Amino acid sequence: MKALLLDVGNSRIKWGIGEDGEVHRTGQITHERIRERGLGALTTRLPHDVDAVIASNVAGPSFATRLAGVVGAHLGRELHFAKSARAACGVTNAYTHPRRMGVDRWVAMVGAWTELGQACLVVDAGTAVTIDAIDGDGRHLGGQILPGTALMAASLAADTSELPKAPPLKAADFAGLDMFAHSTRRAIQSGVLGAVVGAIERASGALATVSTEAELVLTGGDAPRLLPALGPDVIHRPNLVLHGLLRLLEAGES
């Protein structure tokens, strides 16, 4: 079976083809570009010869309806939307009401667990940063959500009278005493990056108290910026949600 996999995030849509257990022919487009040119800017890039289409969508029901209509017309296939569940593919959800968990978090955890099969901290660093802990038995221990670096910097500029806008800082410039800035703009850049890195490191430390062999798995658009600050042992999986979608589809648990 050949499947089109869609990761519909807050800022962009990523896609890939799932076939023979692997994800390939990946691509992405921003929501801004879709607003400028319409959904045709997406569908013209997608393949036609697929047997199934599955999506993780956090862009809201209105966009989901539009996307399903366009995908159906373009590919002649029904678009199936993954949903957060009590359990799937060996992962057990900690939420009392599993459907209230963002589906991207759930699918990313499935992607990480089905690859590693061991305790891990799953971090999706995008518009928002989500951090979810899984123990060695596949039990989700819970998670955290905080603003991403760009969102934090934007809130400072919007909600204060004198702080400037500050583009995100590369983590390569965030080391040792370099984290102490000599300008306001750089102080904001260093501060928001430090907040995200600090949250991840603190969560990693907490998980290590119960699972000493836990891995840190990082995905999301901000991942390349964070990697140098988190050390060499981080597992970077840019298409983690796509892999999770494929595993759910293969298992018939989507």
pLDDT above 90 covers a percentage of the chain that reads: 70
More confident position, 98 or 228: 98
In this prediction, residues 172-192 reach a mean pLDDT of 77
Question: Per residue in 3-35, is it b (16+ CB within 10 Å) or e — as a string?
Answer: bbbbbbbebbbbbbbbeeeebeeeebbebeebe
Range of weakest confidence among 113-122, 137-146, 154-163, 217-226 = 154-163
Is pTM, for the whole model, over 0.95? Answer: no
Asked if pLDDT for residue 205 goes beyond 70, the answer is yes
Predicted confidence band at 91 (pLDDT cuts at 50, 70, 90)? very high
Backbone angles phi, psi at 155, to 5 degrees: -65, -35
Catalytic residues: 104
What pLDDT is recorded for position 242? 98
In this prediction, residues 55-75 reach a mean pLDDT of 94
- In the predicted model, what is the mean pLDDT of the chain? 91
In this prediction, residues 206-231 reach a mean pLDDT of 92
What pLDDT is recorded for position 173? 57
Report how far residue 173's alpha carbon sits from residue 28's, in angstroms, rounded to the nearest whole number: 27
Asked if pLDDT for residue 103 goes beyond 90, the answer is yes
What pLDDT is recorded for position 1? 87
Report how far residue 208's alpha carbon sits from residue 27's, in angstroms, rounded to the nearest whole number: 35
Report how far residue 183's alpha carbon sits from residue 161's, in angstroms, rounded to the nearest whole number: 17
pLDDT above 70 covers a percentage of the chain that reads: 95
What pLDDT is recorded for position 162? 75
Cα torsion for 75, 30, 200, 116, to the nearest 10°?
A: 20
In this prediction, residues 145-152 reach a mean pLDDT of 93
What pLDDT is recorded for position 153? 87
Asked if pLDDT for residue 234 goes beyond 60, the answer is yes
In this prediction, residues 166-187 reach a mean pLDDT of 71
Give me the numbers of helices (H) and strands (E) for the chain, helices first please.
8, 12
Question: Per residue in 45-74, is it b (16+ CB within 10 Å) or e — as a string?
Answer: ebeeebebbbbbbbbeeebbeebbebbeeb
Mention every residue, 6+ apart, whose C-beta is less than 8 A from residue 44: none
Domains recognised in the chain with CATH numbers: 3-81 (3.30.420.40), 118-148+184-245 (3.30.420.40)
Q: Are 169 and 193 in contact (CB under 8 A)?
A: yes
Q: Are 38 and 69 in contact (CB under 8 A)?
A: no
